[in-house]
Amino acid sequence: MGNFVPAAVGKRLLAWGLVELLGLAVVVGVGLLLGWRSYQRCPHCGRLVRRAVQGWKRCGSCGRQYRRGLRVR
Ligand SMILES: [Zn+2]
């Protein structure tokens, strides 16, 4: 009973660090994907605007209305 740490424990700690890093990467990736999906480019001026899920939205930059999937340019 000492404070001797076996190599296996060290390896396990390293693996946990890897799993944690992988989890973080997945969370960041999903977050980016969700964040990207909630935005779209304004079909008129190309600025990044909030995605119009239903109905029409007005672009804050050019003042023109756009809707989901609208392609003008
Ligand atoms: Zn615009």
pLDDT, position 13: 84
Nearest to 56 by CA among 37, 73, 43: 43
| DSSP one-letter string for 7-69 | HHHHHHHHHHHHHHHHHHHHHHHHHHHHHHHTEEE-TTT--EEE--SSSEEE-TTT--EEETT
Q: Is the pTM of this model over 0.85?
A: no
Ligand 1 mean position, distance from CA 41 (Å) = 8
The Å distance, Cα 25 to ligand 1 centre, comes to 33
- Taking only the tens place, the pLDDT of each residue in 1-38 is 667 777 888 888 888 888 999 999 999 999 988 887 88
Query: Do 45 and 63 meet the contact criterion of CB atoms below 8 Å apart?
Result: no
CA of 36 to the centre of ligand 1 (A): 17
